A and B are shown apart, each in its own frame.
Chain A
Amino acid sequence: MAFVQQSSPHAHRARPTSRVMLWVLIAALPGLFAQTLFFGWGNLINVVFCITVAIVSEAALLRLRKKPVAFFIRDNTAAVTGLLLGLSLPQFTPWWVSAVAVISAIVVAKQLYGGLGSNPFNPAMVGYALVLVSFPVAMTTNWAEPAMLWEGAPGFGETLATIASGQQTAIDGWTMATPLDEYKHKIARHTATEVLAHPTFGDGIAKGWEWVNAAFLAGGLLLIGLRIITWHIPAGFLGGLALMSLAFGSNADLYAPLSLHLLAGGTMLGAFFIATDPVSAATSHQGKLIYGAGIGILIYLIRTWGNYPDAVAFSVLLMNFAVPFIDHYTPPRTYGHHKARRGVPGSQG
């Protein structure tokens, strides 16, 4: 009789890519919940919209490329890209800006590079950076006022209408600058105490933002616990940012304090959900630490001395460029060898 012929190993532990991605989606829920709680319905609507656009554009491209559509859609990676953009974009981003971000992420940054596993850059961050430099007004004036739910905030319908209207003329009464931006621009003329009196900062570190960051941190720790990501990239990321902040920004009257760097803006989302995209990150443990630290350092540089307020996207993309270089010099030492073999023959490092 004919037996099944198969190469070893014959046993497998099935935690397929689709389930890994599903866990990423689940781990992001606390952060999404916190965003909805403190900044209104905007991000939730964004997330749903972005995921839908991501899946549709991924399916269209797979069809064009004559790849098995259902097989690849089921891996949930497009949904994760959509989710990350939905979480990162300002709450009142006009729908077409979000659509451009998602489509450029999926079509250009992912599928045109060869699809899953072949993209050198983080797709979500490519989409984000693209709309940030293309539509700076839409991207910087649509941040919701924190904790607005308690102060006559726009309801679900109103938020949806604002996003769907596609008008860039933001409703000034609802929006304001993000705390890091606020701090950076005001600290030149004011003292830290004066700056922190602004309602954006609330009573704690950065009203609402601190809770959102804490929620993403919790989700990130869940991912580490499930061994879906390793601790190396977040540790390098936060370590690099903290070190830079302590080294250059110890005087709160000159630069934003460490607490603000860690708990405002997209820090935790970036550290645990964005920088850890395995496809575009470094591979070895040592490489991951360097890669993460590079992102953390760049974030500090861009936040402190750069012109754009959103540092995570640019830092991640810049370090994506450096990944082949990092990988080249950070292979681990193999069992039975005295030292690691740095570099690879026949390629320029």
Chain B
Amino acid sequence: MSQLWDFSGGIHPLEHKDISTSRPIRRCGIPERLILPLQQHIGDPAEAIVEVGERVLKGQKIADVKTGMGVPVHAPTSGIIESLTEHPVPHPSGMADWCITLKPDGEDQWCPRNPVDDFHALDRDQVLEMIRDAGISGMGGAGFPTNIKLRPPRDRKVNTLILNGAECEPYITADDMTMREKADEVVAGLKVMAWILRPERCVIGVEDNKPQAIAALRKATEGTQTEIAVIPTKYPSGGEKQLIQILTGMEVPSGGIPADIGVMCQNIGTAVAVAQAVYQDIPLISRTVTITGEAVREPGNFEVLIGTPIEYLLEQAGVQQDKLSRLVLGGPMMGYTLSTEAVPVIKTTNCVIAATASELPAPPPEQPCIRCGECAEVCPMELLPQQLFWYSKSTEFEKAEHLNLFDCIECGACSYVCPSSIPLVQYYRFAKDEIRVQRAEQLKSDRARERFEARQARLEREKEEKELRRKERAKAAAEAQAKKQAEAEQATAEGGAVDERSAKSAIVEQALARKKAKAEANQSSPASQPAAEKPDTEALEKQLSQARSKLETMQSMLDDAKAQQADNVEKLERAVAKNHDRVKRAEEALAEARNTPGTRPTEPQSTH
């Protein structure tokens, strides 16, 4: 038995898990239509690579991400591509997004599969590519492309690989049932990931309210070094940061990623998907989903094809439409309500709660905060929720940020216990969004200011150049004048009569002299600039290469951060954008310098 640590706070909500664990996982069947959103995870949306009307086979790639971060989408069954349209997708906002609609032909015909005999013989990168090609993204929460997550940043060694089987949210039993029924596949997936990462310690964390899952895992890991850590049931022990604290006693630094302390967390479902991809060449086309709540007659877990409309799924579980009041996607603590049951199951869908009005009653009206501090007692991040609420409500975002607003994981424990039934998490989301908007505007105004300042500097320079030219001209004119006067004096001295004609010719001569002087001045002016104003191309090139290398560093840092779903992604993105601008400016300056004549690194001529 390995040592366990506790995390501060936490709550014990009613579990409601037995509702959906009495039946084994059932196959959901093939609905009339499958709706496959092009974006099912964090990152960039995929692009369709099939035509409308085309027949596709089960497991065939139908959309892929060509540039940027993402994984492909596969056909969950054979059928005809019916359309590529906007359709409601699972999102808290209830928005619509681009989806491929597939009309199954009922034959469920596989495309050719080529499972490898032994992945150990392959390169790590090849296995990672297999995982990417199978369209696997994290199946627990945000859904991060798994192949990227499995590629830890260059300087970070993963010592501890954690499989998150805590499943602390009430109602959800998808991971529980998966562990009970597919423990071997879970362990097989873990082995693949362990082979890629070579950690010193592999541990599966499971809450003690899942004895059957624990027994199944114990059996599957017999004789291996994989630990099964049975952790106390407490919400939110399945939060990545909390689970890491429970199992290792370490804290993920604020704004950092688990890899910073040598830890990586993966979801149970993800492990199964990895095993299927690597051993059987089965892409991620289905997943386990819990259908529960008092409004369904036969709650339980289903093996559901990705793209299955929730509506169809509810029918399979025997939904009682007259009782259904609230439809929650995810758990009751962190899930969000759906406005339509037409949305499809996607790679991150783990639970649908069809709740009756009495099951999840509307909270009573909000009362004033009396600073009772219950929220602070249960906060797993050791924040001061009532202060954050106060500052969020009074839009004093700076103070809220100072009290670590962005460390809030939105677990909802504070709202759960609030005696004044204040929707605290809602206030934090509002404050975070406002701060993000303000930051974006700040960046925009910074850029505008930089542009303005550059323009001012250019105008100033041009003015100086003009002034310089004017002085040159004045000097030349003065010289000519002096010459003319001298000539006139000479003529007077010679006593020669100055007739009109000679006067005229003198004027012409003077004009010619002026023109010549002007031409001379013009010719000499570019070269006569002070060296500092026109830096030589060499310096500019150096500047450019420096900017480029900095951009590269930032970009790679950003990639790493993205790969680990770090909290500082935003910050890095801003830094990258800034460096991008810098490179661009440097390039422009260089191009300008090259196009301007007379700026070769020559000895600057003295103006005087």
Contacts and interface: CB of A to CB of B under 8 A. Distances in A.
Interface of A: 1-17, 19-20, 71, 75, 77, 115-118, 227, 230, 278-279, 281, 283-284, 327, 331-337, 341, 344-347
B69 interface: no
B339 A3 contact: yes
Interface in B354-407: 355, 357, 360, 362-365, 367-374, 376-377, 380-384, 386-387, 396, 398-399, 402-404, 407
B300 interface: no
For the complex of A and B, list the 10 residue pairs with the smallest distance between their C-beta atoms, beginning with the closest: A9-B412, A117-B368, A336-B254, A4-B326, A10-B332, A11-B332, A334-B404, A9-B333, A335-B381, A278-B372
Given A6-B337, A8-B334, A16-B419, 11 more contacts: A2-B339, A5-B337, A8-B333, A8-B412, A9-B334, A15-B417, A333-B382, A336-B407, A344-B399, A345-B398, A347-B399
Given A7-B423, A9-B334, A17 B367 contact: yes
A336 B245 CA distance: 10
Contacts of A333: 382
Contacts of A331: 384, 387, 403
Contacts of B429: 7
B555 interface: no
B407 A334 contact: yes
Given A116-B367, A278-B372, A283-B376, A9 B332 contact: yes
> Taking each of A12, A281, A341, A347, which has the highest tally of chain B beta carbons within 10 Å of its own beta carbon?
A12
A284 B384 contact: yes
A283 B386 CA distance: 8
B337 A4 contact: yes
A278 B371 contact: yes
Contacts of A4: 325-326, 337, 357, 360, 362
B182 interface: no
Contact of A337 (B334, B353, B373, B404): B404
Contacts of A283: 371, 373, 376, 384, 386-387
Most chain B CB inside 10 Å of its own CB: which residue of A11, A13, A15, A19: A11
Contacts of A13: 11, 13, 416-417
B372 A11 contact: no
Contacts of B532: none
Interface string B2-29: 0000011001011000000000000000
A19 B417 CA distance: 13
Contacts of B209: none
B110 interface: no
Describe B's contact surface by its main secondary structure.
loop
Interface SS majority for chain A: loop
Contacts of B255: 336
B339 A11 contact: no
B421 A344 contact: no
Contacts of A347: 399
A117 B327 CA distance: 34
Given A336-B253, A336-B254, A346 B399 contact: yes
B526 interface: no
B335 A117 contact: no
Nearest to B411: A9
B109 interface: no
A340 B230 CA distance: 32
A11 to B, nearest CB: 4
B161 to A, nearest CB: 20
Contacts of B254: 334-337
Given A117-B370, A336-B256, A341-B403, A7 B384 contact: no
B170 A8 contact: no
A3 B338 contact: yes
A344 B333 contact: no
5 contacts: A8-B336, A281-B371, A335-B251, A336-B241, A346-B399
A329 B254 CA distance: 20
A278 B370 CA distance: 6
Contact of A3 (B170, B327, B404): B327
Contacts of A71: 365
Nearest to B338: A3
B324 interface: yes
A200 B289 CA distance: 73
B325 to A, nearest CB: 5
A115 B368 contact: yes
B417 A16 contact: no
B381 A334 contact: yes
Nearest to B410: A8
A3 B403 contact: no
Contacts of A75: 367
Given A8-B333, A336-B253, A118 B372 contact: no
B369 to A, nearest CB: 5
A19 to B, nearest CB: 8
Nearest to A338: B253
B420 interface: yes
Contacts, number: 172
A336 B252 contact: yes
B16 to A, nearest CB: 9
A250 B558 CA distance: 65
A151 B337 CA distance: 69
B387 A1 contact: no
A8 B409 CA distance: 12
Contacts of B308: none
A20 B372 contact: yes
Nearest to B357: A4
Contacts of A17: 367, 370, 372, 419-420
A7 B417 contact: no
B415 interface: yes
A15 B418 CA distance: 8
A9 B416 contact: yes
Given A3-B338, A115-B368, A117-B368, A10 B377 contact: no
A75 B365 CA distance: 12
Contact of B325 (A3, A19, A284, A332): A3
Contacts of A14: 364, 421
A345 B325 contact: no
A8 B416 CA distance: 9
Contacts of B396: 346
Given A333-B382, A337-B404, A8 B370 contact: no
Given A9-B416, A115-B368, A230 B377 contact: yes
Contacts of B419: 15-17, 19-20
A7 B338 contact: no
A345 B412 CA distance: 27
Contacts of A335: 7-8, 241, 245, 251, 254, 380-382, 407
B371 A345 contact: no
A332 B384 contact: yes
A341 B382 CA distance: 12
B280 interface: no
Contacts of A334: 254, 381-383, 404, 407
B321 interface: yes
Interface string B235-260: 00000010001000001111110000
Given A7-B426, A10-B335, A284 B367 contact: no
A258 B83 CA distance: 84
A116 B29 CA distance: 56
B544 interface: no
A75 B370 CA distance: 11
B306 interface: no
A7 B433 CA distance: 15
A14 B365 CA distance: 12
Contacts of A1: 321, 324
Nearest to A277: B370
B328 to A, nearest CB: 6
Contact of B370 (A3, A10, A279): A279
B13 A11 contact: yes
A332 B382 CA distance: 7
A345 B355 CA distance: 44
A9 B415 contact: yes
B134 interface: no
